[in-house]
Amino acid sequence: MTSIAKPIIPLVALPKNEIGLTIRDYEGAVSTLCAGCGHDSVTAAITHAFWELSTPPHSIAKLSGIGCSSKTPTYFVRGAHGFNSAHGRMVTIATGANAANRELTYIGISGDGDSLSIGIGHLAHAIRRNVNMVYVIENNGVYGLTKGQFSASADIGSRLKKGEPNAIAPIDPVLLGLSMGATFLARSFSGDKAQLVPILKAAAAHNGLALIDVISPCVTFNDHEGSTKSYRFMREHEVKEIETDFVPIRKEIHKSLDENDATEITMHDGSVVRFRSVPTGYDPYDRQKVEEYIRERRSRGEIATGLLYVDESSLDVHELNNTPDHALNTVPYSKLCPGSAELAKMQASFR
Amino acid sequence: MEPTNDRDPNYFHKVVDCQWACPAHTDVPGYIRLIAQGRFDDAYMLNRESNVFPGVLGRTCDRPCEPACRRGRVDGSPVAICRLKRVAADLKGEIGDRITPIPTEKNGKRVACIGAGPSALTVANDLMPLGYDVVMFEQFAKPGGLMRSNIPEFRLPAHVLDDETQIILDMGVDIRYNSPITSLRALLEEKFDAIFVGVGAPRAKGLELPGRHDEGDTNIHSGIDWLESVAFGHVDSIGERVLIIGVGNTAMDCCRSSRRLGGRNIKVMARRPREYFKASPWELEDAEEEGVEIVVNHAPKRFVLENGKLVGMEFDVLEWDEGAQHSTVLDTVIVPCDDVILAIGQENAFPWIERDLGMEFGEWDMPVVDEVTFQSTIPGVFFGGDAAFGPKNIIWAVAHGHQAALSMHAHCMGNSITDRPVLEMALSSTKMGMNEWSYHNDYNPSSRQKMTHIELSKRFESLELEVELGFNAEQTAREVQRCLNCDVQTTFKAPLCIECDACIDICPVQCLTITENGDEEQLRERLSAPTVNLKQSLYVSAGLPQTGRVMVKDENVCVHCGLCAERCPTAAWDMEEFELKIPYAKDSGLLTIPVRRASTKIEVGS
């Protein structure tokens, strides 16, 4: 953390987005995380993504549970709605909020402890329901708030700061998601905003639950020699399977990716995500092959990153449950609560 | 790009925009911090080290530092550096015991200074502590040169000037008043070990138009001569209607002095539009506040004298093209007046230097003077101030004086005067603990404080009444916090960096970037924030350990808040206070001893 807040410097001509806001308008309170924490870089990437998407801050809902990761929503988009829930229950609150108001953009920030230990049951069912939200796991392999014990995502053989190796098999959130029927799965690295920002933007446009596993090194308890979630390990073992470029709706298409072997997918809202597989032949639409790729990389000690799997034909929680088209707060009261006469009529129909 | 050599004193010196722009390289952020701490004596002494006359300059300096000030690039208004200098001078206590002691045993060398203006006094200030006998020849009865004769007392009270000149004279200077030098030959025959010429640019430029020498021309004055007569009490009144020809700072002093000596209807007549004026904007504002009218696009044509009396002046009314290169005459008008003051510039004159002495004269009949050593073509005869390269201002004269003193010392000691002492620097961390710094690092959004002036109704009661009242305590407290501490440098140690992006994310002005290395043009294209000022350097690191990319910092708008260093988990960034070690004659040891480890050999003036 820093001793002073990031000051607003007046006459620096900061560029504005489509709704006239500067990137500083998408920032939040002063971070109280350790200096150099990967989570702060994820915060910066989220700030960039929402600013570039020109999402109105009041149309964003940010949610979290408990853990270092769950502090981070405070640090971005100060004008958004927010909810800091009980440990592992971020996605349950998000599901409820989304059911009541489907018109907000939901972003949940969780950690490997919050999502893969105490909250794994809720995560599994939220994936099944395909709740329309961005679900970010800031994954550092340790419990930072309780001083650095192994978490459920620690790799076998990875060492604690004092040297003990981990012997228990890790949970890979992307493999978990594949087996639960997730429709958008990505992995990235906090130290690579060029990759993370377009993935976040595509995730926000995705119709359903977009799960992003972000390796976000714990600079205090898990950035040493022998760690498999350190800055250095990631830089040496990351394999980018796919490059992603997000093309927002109504925007001229930038040609930042080489078009020769690029494929495009149109998202639910009309925006376009363009892919180029780096080792040619990677297919982000084939659930079975994606799983094989990831397992193969893992067996070689490598970490596959990029937008690894996407299925844009899926139905989200509202479509699956045939809910009203708009937020419940826009439905007239007479319709929300039709009265006892209507109730009696309905009950009569069951007799 | 190659990694930046931040051991070159001039690299970080350039980051301190004010100090870089100041001819005397005064440590501005350093003295502003001392003022903030209430250490006025220390602030005054730090100032005096480089600029010798803090009280005078705190009122009259041309302030090259302020247009350069980084704060101006951030919120549009530079820090009021000049007036803060005055705060230190006004509030200082007794500093007599902090002036370098003068050795009782002299070194046996005698030097002569011609004139007792800012450059000559600086020479004496630098040489007296080394044991020299300094003989100073002054044409008037008081010291100060143009500081006394050309700057009116309502801008610079006599007691301020007296105090600061007296400090130097009290070192034991053998000053000889009312002693104009009329022959360099005669002076050379007195066998001084070195001679310093600091006679200024004493001759006003003339305006030869019809009527200039007709009967009644006693009401046509030349600006600097007239100001001099006012300063020494020879003139104490002027007519009600006064025309000032010219729009430099001398013109502003003439019109404001006229206002105090009986002038009621005063017009400053300019040939060109306002944006081409030479006067500093604040001096124009002060004159207009006092009711002086500034008339543009009027070219003087002739003096109108009737029956042996000046009655007016005729002007062509001009219209200028864009860029004010060519004009067309629209009309001709006669502006009635009682007096005309010509303030169209001044020039050098050396009638007392015999041309057969072997001194080479160049363009404009100016002596040929070396720009580094300030020596003329006669070995042992040095020039400085306006006498060296034509009219500049006080702070330049002081800077010349320091350099000339270095040369004179080397000359008298038998050393080579071209072998200049090296510029050195010191860097020391300001880190006091976890996120604690020895300077106030938070950005203060205060706006520039406005100088309070004495009320207009009282202002003209006497010529001596100082117009500017100085900053009060609240104004000072706010203004010092506007300084961005540009001398507290962001220094980077590439081997420690883990490329976590923390510094880049927290920088409030987006001046940091980690990117692939390239040439300067490529790097500037890849900066987080677009590059807008090519005059400011890029600070480029060596290749970073994990990816081989480089850290690039655009020095342009860094506000030195230290957040990069607070956020850095490995202390790769640090905030280090930069101190420029400028060699003066008293540091004469520097002429011979080798450079220290941390420093690189850089010639002064390079």
Identify whether residues B515 and B466 lie together within a single domain: no
Tell me which residue in A2, A6, A44 faces B435 most closely, judged by beta carbons.
Answer: A2
- Please determine, for residue B590, whether its predicted confidence score (pLDDT) is greater than 70: no
What separation in angstroms does the CA of B142 have from each of A221, B161, B186? 73, 10, 23
Q: Which two tokens stand for residue B15?
A: 């980051």
What's the token pair of residue B338?
Answer: 């009682």
Ramachandran angles phi, psi of A235, nearest 5°: -65, -30
Q: What is the pLDDT of residue B279?
A: 87
B223 and B148, same structural domain?
no
DSSP B470: -
Within B210-324, residue ranges assigned H as helices are 223-231, 249-260, 281-289
Cα–Cα separations (whole angstroms), residue A251 to A42, A52, A254, A271, B430: 25, 12, 9, 9, 48
Residues B382 and B335 reside in one and the same domain? no
Nearest CA to A39 out of A72, A16, A67 is that of A72
Write down the pLDDT at residue B365.
Answer: 87
How does pLDDT run across B142-185, given as a tens digit for each residue? 999 999 999 999 999 999 999 999 999 999 999 999 999 999 99
Q: Which residues on adjacent β-strands are paired with residue B310?
A: B305
What's the pLDDT score for residue A268? Answer: 75
By CA distance, what is B559's nearest residue in A? A9
Neighbours of A8 (CB within 10 A): 13
Rounded distance between C-alpha atoms, residue B268 and residue B286, angstroms: 13
Quick one: pLDDT at residue B325?
87
Residue B563 has pLDDT above 60, yes or no: yes
Let me know whether B241 and B329 are in one domain. Answer: yes
Same domain membership, residue B165 and residue B278: no
Look at residue B11 and tell me whether its pLDDT is greater than 50: yes
pLDDT one-digit tens code per residue, B573-586? 999 999 999 999 98
pLDDT of residue B600: 38
Q: Residue-wise pLDDT tens for chain A (351 aa)?
A: 788 999 988 765 678 899 999 999 999 999 999 999 999 999 999 999 999 999 999 999 999 999 999 999 999 999 999 999 999 999 999 999 999 999 999 999 999 999 999 999 999 999 999 999 999 999 999 999 999 999 999 999 999 999 999 999 999 999 999 999 999 999 999 999 999 999 999 999 999 999 999 999 999 999 999 999 999 999 999 888 878 887 776 554 444 555 556 677 787 777 887 777 666 678 888 999 999 989 988 888 888 899 999 998 889 999 999 999 999 999 999 988 999 999 999 999 999
Contact B348, B328 (CB under 8 A): no
- In a 13 Å sphere around the CA of B399, the CA atoms on its Cβ side amount to 20
B398 in a structural domain: yes
Degrees to nearest 5, angle at CA A150 with A149 and A156: 150
Half-sphere exposure of B350 (CA within 13 A, CB side): 25
Shortest alpha-carbon distance between residue B528 and chain A (Å): 11
Using CA atoms, how far apart are residues B82 and B93, in angstroms rounded to an integer? 20
According to DSSP H, which parts of B261-378 are helical?
281-289
| CA B408, chain centre distance (Å) | 23
Across A87-231, where does the E strand assignment appear?
Answer: 105-111, 133-139, 142-143, 149-150, 184-189, 209-215
Residue of A188, A186, A191, A172 whose CA lies nearest to A231: A191
Decide if B110 contacts B390 (C-beta within 8 A).
Answer: no
The verdict on B548 touching A (C-beta cutoff 8 Å) is no
Q: Amino acid identity of A223?
A: D
Q: Do A44 and B442 touch (CB under 8 A)?
A: no
Q: How far is CA B70 from the centre of its chain?
A: 17
Residues B526 and B557 in one domain: yes
Residues of A near B (Cβ–Cβ under 8 Å) read: 1-4, 6-13, 34-38, 40-41, 43-44, 190-191, 193, 217, 219, 223, 231-232, 235
pLDDT (0 to 100) of residue B86: 95
CATH number for position B272: 3.50.50.60
Report, as an integer, the average pLDDT of B469-493.
95
How many angstroms away from the CA of A142 is the closest CA of chain B?
18
Q: B125 and B219: one domain? A: no
**pLDDT at residue B589 greater than cutoff 60:** no
Last residue of a domain, one of B482, B506, B541: B482
Q: Count A/B contacts: CB-CB distance under 8 Å.
A: 94
Name the closest residue on chain B to residue A224, using Cα atoms: B498
Of B74, B442, B546, the CB nearest to A231: B546
- Do B563 and A4 count as a contact with CB atoms less than 8 A apart? yes
For residue B396, the cross-strand partners are none
Can you say whether the dihedral through the CA atoms of B434, B436, B441, B443 is positive or negative? positive
B71 plus B195 within the same structural domain: no
Q: What is the pLDDT of residues B232-275, one digit of tens each?
A: 999 999 999 999 999 998 999 999 999 999 999 999 999 999 98
Q: Give residue B594's identity as a one-letter amino acid code.
A: P
Residues B224 and B304 in one domain: yes
DSSP character string of A142-178: EETTTT-EE-TTPPTT-B-TTSPBP-SPPP-HHHHHH
Read off the CATH number of the domain in which B455 is found.
1.10.1060.10
Q: Which residue of B has its CA nearest to A234?
A: B546
Residue position matching structure tokens 């009621």: B264
CA gyration radius, chain A = 21
Which string of b and e fits B220-234 if b means at least 16 CB within 10 Å?
bbbbbbbbbebbeee
Q: Are strands A272-277 and A262-266 parallel, antiparallel or unpaired?
A: antiparallel
Q: Is residue B403 part of a domain?
A: yes
Alpha-carbon span A306 to A195, nearest angstrom: 7
Residue at B15 is within a domain: yes
Q: Which of B435, B559, B569 sits opposite A9 (nearest CB)?
A: B559
pLDDT in tens, B408-429: 999 999 999 998 888 999 999 9
Type of residue found at A218: C
Task: List domains and CATH numbers for chain A.
Answer: 23-330 (3.40.50.970)
| Cα–Cα distance measured from residue B606 to residue A287, given in angstroms and rounded to the nearest whole number | 67
Is residue B436 a part of any domain in this protein?
A: no
Q: How many domains does chain B have?
A: 4
**Domain end marker among B459, B482, B505:** B482
Q: Report how far residue A73's alpha carbon sits from residue A18's, in angstroms, rounded to the nearest whole number.
A: 23
With CA atoms as reference, the chain A residue closest to B77 would be: A11
pLDDT in tens, B272-299: 999 889 888 888 999 999 999 999 999 9
CA distance B554 to B510: 9
Whole-angstrom distance, CA of residue A255 vs CA of residue A272 = 12
Task: Give the DSSP H/E element, type plus range, for residue B480.
Answer: helix B473-482
Bridge partners of B577? B428, B488
Please say which residue of B429, B463, B482 terminates a domain: B482
Give tens-digit pLDDT for B37-89. 999 999 999 999 999 999 999 999 999 999 999 999 998 899 999 999 999 99
**In this structure, are B545 and B572 located in the same domain?**
yes
**Residue B294, strand partner residues:** B268
Here the tokens at position B103 are 């050795």
Contact B541, B576 (CB under 8 A): no
**Residue A327 CB neighbour total at 10 angstroms:** 13
Specify if B595 maps to a domain: no
Regarding pTM above 0.95, the answer is no
pLDDT value of position A128: 95
Neighbours of A179 (CB within 10 A): 12
Looking at the complex, report in whole angstroms how far the Cα of residue B554 sits from the nearest Cα belonging to chain A.
Answer: 14
CA distance linking residue B221 with residue B244, whole number of Å:
10
The three-point CA angle A106-A109-A110 to 5° equals 135
In a domain, B83, yes or no: yes
Same domain assignment for residues B213 and B303: yes
CB proximity list for B376: less than 8 A, separation 6 or greater: B197, B359, B360, B367, B368, B369, B370, B382, B383
User: Which run of H or of E encompasses A205?
Assistant: helix A193-205
The string of DSSP letters for B545-587 reads TTT--EEEEE-TT-----HHHHH-TT--EEEEEEEEE---GGG
CB contact under 8 A, A6 and B506: yes
B496 inside 8 A of chain A by CB: no
Q: What is the pLDDT of residues B385-409, one digit of tens each?
A: 999 999 899 999 999 999 999 999 9
Dihedral sign (CA B513, B519, B520, B521): negative
Q: Does a structural domain hold residue B420?
A: no
Report, as an integer, the average pLDDT of B9-15. 95
Is the CB of residue B173 less than 8 Å from the CB of residue B128?
yes
Specify the residue for token string 């109730």: A343
CA–CA dist B240, B245 (Å, integer) = 16
pLDDT at B439 over 50: yes
ipTM value of the model? Answer: 0.87
Q: Among candidates A3, A32, A17, which has minimal Cα distance to A251?
A: A17
Q: Is the domain of B510 the same as that of B576?
A: yes
Q: A-chain residues within 8 Å CB-CB of B557?
A: 9, 12
Domain assignment of residue B270, given as a range = 206-346
The pLDDT value given to residue B594: 34
Residue B239 contacts residue B216 (beta carbons within 8 Å): no
Contact of A102 with A122, CB cutoff 8 Å: no
- Does some domain include residue B600? no
* Alpha-carbon distances, residue B571 vs A240, B433, B566 (angstroms): 30, 12, 8
